[in-house]
Amino acid sequence: MSLWKMELKHVFRSWRGWLLLLGYVSASPLAIIAGIFIDRSYDFAYDQVIDFYVLFTLPAGLMFIGIVVSSLSFDSNKNLSIFLRLRFSVRQILVTKLVFYFLLSSVFFLAGLAISFIVGGVIFDSSDTISFTWMLWGLLCYFVGGVFWAGLMSFTSGMFMGAVASVLFTLAVIIGFPVVSGVLMTVEMLMRGLMETAPNEWENVSYIGRVMQWWPANIGDTTAFFAITDSEIAADRVSIQFQETDLDPFFRMKSFITALVSTPILFLFAWRKYSRREV
């Protein structure tokens, strides 16, 4: 049996895989239903369906991280570890698992995105069309971010043999790091007497904010490029994370560069940790 078939059976033989599928599949209908209710009181354009869809996929994304890290912690199960290592090289195991889950998440996410785009365009106002060029740019950033997440999860999974410890460490890095930096940024702004600064300018004024511009995970903010409309291009303004900012194709470019540079390093570190691990 190939590793691809084994991984597919591993995902969907338990409730975790089906719950993950439900999380992605339900995100698009939820976005559409939310749009229908909002449209009763306010004008709701079809590009907003995509914004809501991306928001509703966050729980599925966190669930997906747990499943991937758990799968990469195969050394926590001695019998499974011996079975895999006797039949495949460490490189084959890691590459197959990471590519499989990268493709799986991409298919789930992009399928829901396509449904939201098509159905939203039929039901809601589509006079202000979405820019296909900006959508392609957002798609490139999405794939680069996905590869970085694969590298980060392989790195955090390689730190511990236990699945629980690996999952908790991964969530601590993904969630804890931005939370801590946000608190420190607020404290810095208070100490410098700059709390009157507009929130969307904090990362340009704060020293911590400037450093955080290089944090690779921030490339996830470029999902806003999936729903850039002609009117936003004309106004040169866009709403990202509920804040108005200038429309800039190089938005999160620092994170983009850091993701490209750090991903091979994370993969190399993970491969060395798994190769030198005694089971």
- pLDDT for the residue 1: 55
Concatenated DSSP letters for 172-213? IIIIIHHHHHHHHHHHHHHHTT-TTS-GGGHHHHSHHHHHHT
How many angstroms separate the CA atoms of 224 and 201, rounded?
18
How many angstroms separate the CA atoms of 92 and 236, rounded?
46
Chain mean pLDDT for the chain: 84
pLDDT at 139 over 80: yes
- pLDDT for the residue 176: 83
Q: What is the longest distance spanned by two Cα atoms in the chain?
A: 63
What whole-number percentage of the chain has pLDDT above 90?
A: 8
How many angstroms separate the CA atoms of 31 and 89, rounded?
43
Q: How confident is the model at residue 258 (pLDDT cuts 50, 70, 90)?
A: very high
SS3 241: coil
How many angstroms separate the CA atoms of 193 and 143, rounded?
39
Contact 55, 26 (CB under 8 A): no
Residues 6+ apart with CB under 8 A from 39: 124
Q: How confident is the model at residue 87 (pLDDT cuts 50, 70, 90)?
A: confident
Read off the pLDDT of residues 197-240 as tens digits, 9 standing for 90 and up: 877 778 888 888 888 888 888 888 888 888 888 888 888 777 77
How many angstroms separate the CA atoms of 27 and 34, rounded?
11
Q: Name which residue leads in pLDDT, 54 or 73.
A: 54
Read off the pLDDT of residues 144-160 as tens digits, 9 standing for 90 and up: 998 999 888 888 888 87
pLDDT at 123 over 80: yes
* pTM confidence score: 0.85
Read off the pLDDT of residues 4-37 as tens digits, 9 standing for 90 and up: 887 788 777 777 778 888 888 899 899 999 888 8
Among 216, 51, 77, 76, which residue's Cα sits nearest to residue 147?
A: 216
Joined tokens for residue 138: 């957002």
- pLDDT for the residue 51: 87
